[in-house]
C-alpha cells in the first residue's frame, strides 16, 4: 500500500542512456502501464524500481522513503518477470510460499495464503508439480501467484503475457484486471502491446528512446496524442499519417501533400500555422469512410480512389486505398462487401484530423 515516485531518474550503461530524466508519480492503487517499442527502457525502469539495477541519477520513492540504496529485499515489492523466473527445483506450492518462508511466517499462515493464491489462479491440481511439468500459461499463473501471496506495496509486471497464445492472453488480461480490483495495490505494468495497455491501464506512460513521450488515461492518449509517435502508437489500425506542407491559396490555408493534393485546414487549427511549414497530417481509419456506406460528416473533404485491398473482419471492414501516393486505411462498420479495384468515394471528417509539426513531431 504505497505510492511510487520517480524523480529525474536516469540509467546509463557506459555510453548508452537507457532511461533519461524520467519523472513519474504513481498514486496508491493506480494501475499504471508503461508502453513503448522494444528497447525504449521499460524493463530498465521497472528493474530500477525493483532494485535489481543501480540508478545512475535521480531518486525513487516508495511510500515516503528514498529507496535508491535499498536492496530489493527491503523494498516490499513483487515482480513478475517476462519469462516467469520460477524456481525450477521447487514445486508450485514451494514456489508460491518461498517468499513467506524467507520472511519466517509461520507454517499455517503460509498454507492459508498459498491456498488462497492457488484458488484465485486455479492451480489446485498443480500444487505438487515442478515448473518443468507446467505449460507456459500455467507457469505464468504460478509467477503471478508468487507475486500475490506476498501482499506487497506494489506489483511490477514485465510483459507477463507476451509468451501466451492470443486466447489465453485475453483471458489472463481479464484476470489481472480483476485481481487488481480485488487486491487494491499499486501496479506498474510493462508491455509493448497497446491493446493490453488500453484495456488494463488507469494511466499509460508512453516511452520512446528512454524518455517519456506522454502520460495520460487511455482515452486522453487516444483523443489527444501529444506527438506523432503517440498518435501512431496508440490505436489499431495505426493512425494514417501523411506528409504535407502549408500553402496559402487566396487567403485560405491549405495543407498540400507531396503529390499535389490540397486539403483545407480546419478553422480552429489555423492560428498556429505558418505558410511553408512542414507538417504531418493524421487521421484515424474510422474518420475516413466510403460515402456509399456511411454518412457524410458535417465538415468533410472527399476523394475518389481505387480500393487496393479489403479485409472483412466481421464487425468491421478495413479498406486500403491511396491518398495521393500514400496508402491509407479506412474502417467501416457496415457489413457490406467491398471488392478490390472498385472505385469508391471516401469522405474524410476534417474535425477529427490531427496535425503534427514536421520537424519536432509535436501536436499542433
Partner 1 sequence: MSRKFFSGPFILILPSILAIGFVIIIPLIFSFYTSFTSYKLTRPDSLFNFVGLRNYERLIDNTKFWYAFGRTILFLAVVLNLELLFGLGIALLINKITWGQRTLRTIMMFPMMFSPILVGFQWKYIFNDNIGLLNNFLYLFGYESAIPWLIDKYLAMGSIMVAEIWANTSIFAILLLAGLLGIPRDPIEAARVDGCNSWQVFKNITLPFLMPFIFIALTIRSLDVGRAYDIVHIMTGGGPAMRTELIWTMIARIGYKDANMGFANAMSYVSIILSIAFTYYFFTKLVAARRDLGQQ
Ligand X SMILES: Nc1ncnc2c1ncn2[C@@H]1O[C@H](COP(=O)(O)OP(=O)(O)OP(=O)(O)O)[C@@H](O)[C@H]1O
Stretch that binds ligand X, among 41-49, 62-70, 317-325, 337-345 (CB under 6 A): 41-49
Query: Where does the chain have alpha helices with state H?
Result: 42-50, 92-102, 107-121, 136-148, 166-183, 194-200, 218-223, 228-233
Residues binding partner 1: number (CB under 8 A) = 28
Q: Does 341 bind ligand X (CB under 6 A)?
A: no
Instruction: Tell me if residue 99 falls in helix, strand or coil.
Output: helix
Per the CB < 8 A criterion, the answer to whether 213 and 57 are in contact is no
Residue 110 contacts by C-beta under 8 Å, 6 or more apart in sequence?
97, 100, 101
Q: Does 51 bind partner 1 (CB under 8 A)?
A: yes
CB of 155 to Mg ion, least distance (A): 16
Q: Does 103 bind partner 1 (CB under 8 A)?
A: yes
Per the CB < 8 A criterion, the answer to whether 344 and 305 are in contact is yes
- From the number of C-beta atoms within 10 Å of its C-beta (0-12, 13-18, 19+), residue 206 rates as buried
Q: Does 69 bind partner 1 (CB under 8 A)?
A: no
Q: Does 227 bind Mg ion (CB under 5 A)?
A: no
- From the number of C-beta atoms within 10 Å of its C-beta (0-12, 13-18, 19+), residue 274 rates as exposed
Question: What does 86 interact with, of ligand X, partner 1, Mg ion, none (CB < 5 to 8 A by kind)?
Answer: partner 1
- Which one of 20, 43, 140, 277 is in contact with ligand X (CB under 6 A)? 43
Binding track, positions 82-101, relative to partner 1; x by CB under 8 A? -xxxxxxx--------xx--
CB of 103 to partner 1, least distance (A): 6
Give the CA diameter of the chain.
Answer: 83
Q: Order of strands, edge to edge, in the sheet holding 317-323?
A: 288-290, 343-349, 300-312, 317-323, 326-332
Closer by beta carbon to ligand X, 72 or else 324: 72
Q: Does 139 bind partner 1 (CB under 8 A)?
A: no
Binding site for ligand X (CB under 6 A): 13, 16, 18, 36, 38-44, 192
Binding site for partner 1 (CB under 8 A): 50-52, 71-73, 75, 77-79, 81, 83-89, 98-99, 102-103, 130-133, 146, 150
Amino acid at each position: 500500500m504505497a505510492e511510487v515516485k520517480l524523480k529525474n531518474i536516469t540509467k546509463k550503461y557506459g555510453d548508452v542512456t537507457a532511461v533519461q530524466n524520467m519523472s513519474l508519480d504513481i498514486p496508491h492503487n493506480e494501475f499504471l502501464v508503461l508502453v513503448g517499442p522494444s528497447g525504449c527502457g521499460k524493463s530498465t525502469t521497472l528493474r530500477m524500481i525493483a532494485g535489481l539495477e543501480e540508478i545512475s541519477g535521480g531518486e525513487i520513492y516508495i511510500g515516503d522513503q528514498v529507496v535508491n540504496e535499498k536492496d530489493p529485499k527491503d523494498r516490499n515489492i513483487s515482480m513478475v518477470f517476462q519469462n516467469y523466473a520460477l524456481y525450477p527445483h521447487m514445486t508450485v506450492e514451494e514456489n508460491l510460499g518461498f517468499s513467506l518462508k524467507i520472511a519466517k511466517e509461520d507454517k499455517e499462515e503460509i498454507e492459508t495464503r498459498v491456498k488462497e493464491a492457488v484458488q484465485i489462479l486455479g492451480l489446485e491440481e498443480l500444487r505438487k508439480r515442478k515448473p518443468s511439468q507446467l505449460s507456459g500459461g500455467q507457469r505464468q499463473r504460478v509467477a503471478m501467484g508468487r507475486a500475490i501471496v506476498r501482499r506487497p506495496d506494489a506489483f511490477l509486471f514485465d510483459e507477463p503475457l507476451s509468451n501466451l497464445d492470443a486466447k489465453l492472453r485475453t483471458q489472463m488480461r481479464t484476470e489481472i484486471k480483476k485481481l487488481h480490483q480485488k487486491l487494491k495495490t499499486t501496479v506498474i505494468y510493462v508491455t509493448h502491446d497497446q491493446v493490453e495497455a488500453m484495456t488494463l491501464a488507469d494511466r499509460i506512460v508512453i516511452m520512446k528512446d528512454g524518455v517519456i513521450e506522454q502520460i495520460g488515461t487511455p482515452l486522453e492518449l487516444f483523443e489527444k496524442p501529444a506527438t506523432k509517435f503517440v498518435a501512431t502508437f496508440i490505436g489499431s489500425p495505426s493512425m494514417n499519417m501523411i506528409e504535407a506542407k502549408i500553402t496559402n491559396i487566396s487567403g485560405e490555408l491549405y495543407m498540400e501533400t507531396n503529390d499535389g493534393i490540397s486539403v483545407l485546414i480546419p478553422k480552429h487549427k489555423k492560428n498556429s500555422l505558418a505558410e511553408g511549414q512542414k507538417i504531418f497530417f493524421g487521421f484515424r481509419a474510422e474518420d475516413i469512410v466510403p460515402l456509399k456506406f456511411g454518412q457524410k460528416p458535417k465538415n468533410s473533404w472527399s476523394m475518389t480512389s481505387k480500393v487496393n485491398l479489403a479485409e472483412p473482419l466481421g464487425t468491421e471492414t478495413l479498406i486500403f486505398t491511396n491518398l495521393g501516393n500514400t496508402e491509407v486505411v479506412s474502417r467501416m462498420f457496415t457489413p457490406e462487401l467491398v471488392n478490390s479495384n472498385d472505385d469508391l468515394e471516401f469522405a474524410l471528417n476534417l474535425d477529427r484530423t490531427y496535425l503534427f509539426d514536421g520537424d519536432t513531431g509535436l501536436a499542433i
